[in-house]
Structure 1
Amino acid sequence: MPLMARARFNAKVNTEEVTAEIRRAAGRGLRHATEHVLSVSNQRVPHDEGTLERSGAAVVDENDLRGIVSYDTPYSIAQHENLDYQHKPGRAAKFLELALREEAEVVKLMIAKQLRQALK
């Protein structure tokens, strides 16, 4: 029978503090991610005077861990949804939707990075 090494120990873990730190890290990652999506979207947003682009915002609800990227002008929905509008080169309808789809993997990595750092 092979010899086995054994070690016994007791550990006290403050699970509430660990959970709180993980939530804070997830919030940081989500904040970075929503700002990233806004930045990418701003590169495609229809641009005439820049009002639509300047109305963009990235907000994180820390309690629900929910990130929101939005544009707030009377015409933002029309500009986003109407595929028939003509835009300058590099600018397009569905600017926010495309940015989120194309950056989905980056968003996951940004959040995961913050979680990994918190668990070190």
Structure 2
Amino acid sequence: MSFNGAPAARELRAAAARGLFLGAEHVLGESNNVVPLDEAALQRSGTASVDPPSLTAMVSYDTPYAVVQHERLDFRHAPGRTAKYLENSLNAARPEVAALIAAELRRAMR
């Protein structure tokens, strides 16, 4: 019996990257549900991506005022919309993100 670990390691890294992307997309969806409304430009600017070599996921919003809207707790928003829209969504979605990554890793190990 022999074990060739390099292909297995490559497949597991690819699965982890897929899981991270699914997790980032999930966090983006959750944050879009509470992002402050501004004719929806802020919400539409949201993106999710993964850097496979470093296994790093990113979720961001790209408007000139995205950071201000995120950080300023004294702004008034429409009902159900809030500051800290990305931070709170990430913290709330941790179990789901971990489950998405784990599911992709399990699929790769079959």
Q: How high is the TM-score relative to the length of structure 2?
A: 0.98
CA distance in structure 1 between the partners assigned to 2:3 and 2:80 by the alignment: 52
Identity rate of aligned residues, in percent? 48
> 1:114 aligns to what?
104
Does structure 1 residue 35 correspond to structure 2 residue 25?
Answer: yes
> 1:100 aligns to what?
90
CA offsets 1:28-76 (integer angstroms, 9 cap, x no match)? 1001000000000000000020000011000100110000000011100
CA distance in structure 2 between the partners assigned to 1:46 and 1:112 by the alignment: 32
> 2:80 aligns to what?
90
Structure showing greater relative contact order (alpha-carbon pairs closer than 8 Å, 6 or more residues apart): 2
Larger radius of gyration: 1
Aligned CA-pair RMSD: 0.5
> 2:45 aligns to what?
55
User: Runs of at least 4 residues of structure 1 off by over 3 A?
Assistant: none
Structure having the larger proportion of residues in helix: 2
Contiguous gaps of at least 5 residues in structure 2 = none
CA distance in structure 2 between the partners assigned to 1:48 and 1:55 by the alignment: 11
Opposite residue 56 of structure 1, the aligned amino acid is G
CA distance in structure 2 between the partners assigned to 1:58 and 1:64 by the alignment: 15
> 2:3 aligns to what?
13
Does structure 1 residue 22 correspond to structure 2 residue 12?
Answer: yes
Contiguous gaps of at least 5 residues in structure 1 = 1-10
CA distance in structure 2 between the partners assigned to 1:17 and 1:55 by the alignment: 37
Q: How high is the TM-score relative to the length of structure 1?
A: 0.90
| 1:103 aligned counterpart, secondary structure | helix
CA distance in structure 2 between the partners assigned to 1:48 and 1:61 by the alignment: 30
Q: How many residues align?
A: 110
